[in-house]
Structure formats: structure tokens, C-alpha cells
Amino acid sequence: MNINDAAKQIHDNARDKGFYQDYEHLLELLKDNPKMIKFVHELWLGCRLMLVVSELGEALEGIRHANYSEEPKSGGFREELSDAVIRLLDIQHMASKDVANDIKLKMDYNAGRAFKHGGKAL
């Protein structure tokens, strides 16, 4: 499976499981108010990004407890890191249907940057 297919599957699953129901309901209620739609959209994205941060915090706890399991409900580093990636791909799919291209563009840009992006070494 390529990353675009994975992102779409993740996004579709999140929608099917009801994680977009409130967001879509708000957008429908505000359909005649573009400023409020923009506000709700930005607030929604911010909340979704903070959920990624919470998954990363849980991944850190996995490290602290020497738990590197990928098994669901294990609280392991690999499981929680996967949760963070899943949440990011869901958000990325909302923003762009061509996640692979977005990532490739950034990787190509980064490949041309200076060592440590020109920063001083430790």
C-alpha cells in the first residue's frame, strides 16, 4: 500500500468511526458564515495536532518504561508512535489528497540543505 492509500484509509476509518461528525455538523450549521467556518476549521486542526502531541507523549512513556511493543493497547513506544503517524496522516489527508507528493517535495528540499541546516554542531 502506498502512503496516499494509507492516508485515505486512515481518514475514511476516522470518519466511519464518527471522529468527524461534530466537525462536519458545525460546518453545516455555519455554511453561510465563511469567517466562522475558517475559525472552526483552524480550531479543529489545532485540536487534531495536539492529539498527535499526546500520542508522542505516550510514546515517551513507552521509552521510560522500556516498553517497545507494537501490540495494540500495550502503551508501547512502537504502538504510540504508530498512533501519532496515523493521526498525522489523517490530518495530512484532510489538507491534501497527495500526501506522497507533499512529503517528496519536502524531502527534496531538505536534501539540498546544508549540514544540520547550517547550524553549529554541538
Q: Could you report the per-residue pLDDT of 53-70, keeping only the tens digit for each?
A: 999 999 999 999 999 999
Residue 122 has pLDDT above 80, yes or no: no
The C-alpha atoms of residue 24 and residue 19 are separated, in whole angstroms, by: 10
**Residue 77 corresponds to which amino acid?**
F
- Structure confidence at residue 117 as a pLDDT band (50, 70, 90): confident
Residue 120 has pLDDT above 80, yes or no: no
Residue 107 has pLDDT above 80, yes or no: yes
pTM of the model: 0.89
DSSP state string for 5-24? HHHHHHHHHHHHTTTTHHHH
User: Where along the chain do its domains lie?
Assistant: 3-114
Listed residue (72, 75, 47, 46) closest to 60, CA to CA: 75
- Structure confidence at residue 118 as a pLDDT band (50, 70, 90): confident
List pLDDT tens digits, range 3-26: 999 999 999 999 999 999 999 999
Model pLDDT, residue 77: 97
The H or E element spanning position 59 is helix 34-64
Model pLDDT, residue 66: 98
List pLDDT tens digits, range 76-96: 999 999 999 999 999 999 999
Residue 29 has pLDDT above 80, yes or no: yes
